[in-house]
Amino acid sequence: MTDYLRQARDLDAADPLAGFRDRFVIADDHLVYLDGNSLGRLPVSTRDRLHRAIDEWGTDLIQGWERWITLSREVGDVLATGVLDVSPGEVLLSDSTSVNLYKLAAAACDARPGRRVIVTDDDNFPTDRYVLEGLADARGMELRVLKTDIDLGISTATVREALDGDVALVALSHVAYRSGAVADMMAISDAARGAGALMLWDLCHSAGAVRVPLRASGADLAVGCTYKHLNAGPGAPAFLYVRSDLQAALRQPIWGWFGQRNQFDMGVAYDPVESVERFQVGTPPVLGGYAVLEGARLTAEAGIGRVAEKGAALGAYAIALADAWLAPHGIRLASPRDSARRGGHVTLYHPRAWQISQALRAAGVVPDFRTPDRLRLGLAPLYTRFQDVYAGLAALREVMETEAHLRFPERHSRVT
């Protein structure tokens, strides 16, 4: 047995979260799944809960709404207290991340009349850049797109330099989707506040992976998805966060009846509630909501501190193997080396990353490819074992040694 394999076995044996792997459906124990940062695995309890939810629909019919009507808020409270460390009443499950981003960004711009600039960065996730571009375009505002280092993420100094009295909103990702780099939420939120702008964070790659200093930073707004590290399944509803003291002052642009006071009075004019439910729009996806409830409870039970700690250790172990085995093959780290500056995935660079990702899939390892030449390894502390990281990187070494990737065509375009 090699030293690295022995190390993986020792780390797994000492892992306080090891038992959580049994709480997930593992259809093929030989598959090395390193893509939980795109789509998390299915928790066993979610499968059971969704069956029960469908039965609720079958038996309760319309009366089911007596329970379902508050589900988005109930799940929001679990996310608030168990995952994001903010207060109940500050988080709500609703819509998709893209739609929530639009709602909160528009509300923020309305709250800063006269200011005509939105700040984001050029490596923010595409949907964020597009939504903000559309918003700026529709309002005759400027979208100020900051230059980012695609390996190391957005620098606080770059954000500071971009701020002036014209900035209404700063909208950034906390953990960068490509590199996994963690932005300095404390310093950047502080700088935005100092400039009189509102601060909106995308937490898609943060929620359920790392500690998020939303409360400590005093950040104003956040959005995030639940199908990655929160394991709520494809298309599960997203969440939004609005700091409690801001809620009543912000008005979102989609005036739907689920934000309305005394909704079933069917009043003539829109008069939204003052609480976080004012950011709700229409009928919520109940089945998806139950899936988020189970996923969020699982993370809360494990404890986000322990999850983040194991994520950092998995990443450090993956980087050690990559340094030792893959550097001679032209593969280099494309994420921050410092665990404190890295989220739940490790990214590697190689000019033939696409072909390598195909060869890995053929070898039973599922990584992610991201343009232009990045291989992303998602490390999900609730079910990824150190031995999976060993197996995944050993397969990668084998691909490089045998040049198996050269048998796959070069990339033209693909879906995921």
Ligand X SMILES: Nc1c(O)cccc1C(=O)C[C@H](N)C(=O)O
Ligand Y SMILES: Cc1ncc(COP(=O)(O)O)c(C=O)c1O
125 catalytic? Reply is yes
Half-sphere exposure of 199 (CA within 13 A, CB side): 28
Instruction: Please give the DSSP secondary-structure letter assigned to residue 323.
Output: I
- Helix or strand holding residue 368 (H, E): strand 368-370
Task: From the candidates 41, 228, 352, 397, give the one annotated as an active-site residue.
Answer: 228
User: Which amino acid is residue 190, in one-letter code?
Assistant: D
In the bound complex, which residue of the shown chain has the CB atom lying closest to ligand X?
177
Based on the shown chain and the rule CB under 6 A, indicate whether residue 177 belongs to the binding site for ligand X. Answer: yes
Answer with the entry of ligand X, ligand Y, none that 202 interacts with (C-beta below 5 to 8 A by kind): ligand Y
> For residues 399-416, b (16+ Cβ closer than 10 Å) or e, as one string?
bbeeebbeebeebeeeee
In the complex with ligand Y, the residue whose CB is nearer, 252 or 260, is 252
Based on the shown chain and the rule CB under 6 A, indicate whether residue 347 belongs to the binding site for ligand X. Answer: no
Instruction: Report H helices in 64-221.
Output: 65-68, 71-82, 97-111, 126-139, 156-162, 185-194, 214-217
> Which of 11, 91, 192, 225 is the binder for ligand Y (CB under 6 A)?
225
317 catalytic? Reply is no
Instruction: Please give the DSSP secondary-structure letter assigned to residue 38.
Output: T
Answer with the entry of ligand X, ligand Y, none that 416 interacts with (C-beta below 5 to 8 A by kind): ligand X
> Which of 33, 38, 238, 389 is the binder for ligand X (CB under 6 A)?
38
**Footprint (CB under 6 A) of ligand X, residues 189-208:** 204
Strands 239-242 and 332-333, sheet pairing: unpaired
Based on the shown chain and the rule CB under 6 A, indicate whether residue 123 belongs to the binding site for ligand Y. Answer: no
202 catalytic? Reply is yes
Q: Are 210 and 344 in contact (CB under 8 A)?
A: yes
> Which of 7, 70, 81, 96 is the binder for ligand Y (CB under 6 A)?
96
Q: Are 382 and 44 in contact (CB under 8 A)?
A: no
CA dihedral 157, 106, 81, 381 (to 10 degrees): -60
> Which of 20, 68, 102, 177 is the binder for ligand Y (CB under 6 A)?
177
User: What is the maximal distance between C-alpha atoms in the chain?
Assistant: 73
Answer with the entry of ligand Y, ligand X, none that 98 interacts with (C-beta below 5 to 8 A by kind): ligand Y
Q: Which residues are catalytic?
A: 125, 202, 227-228, 376
Residues within the interface to ligand Y (CB under 6 A): 96-98, 125, 127-128, 173, 177, 202, 204-205, 225, 238
Could you list the residues that contact ligand X (CB under 6 A)? 38, 177, 204, 416
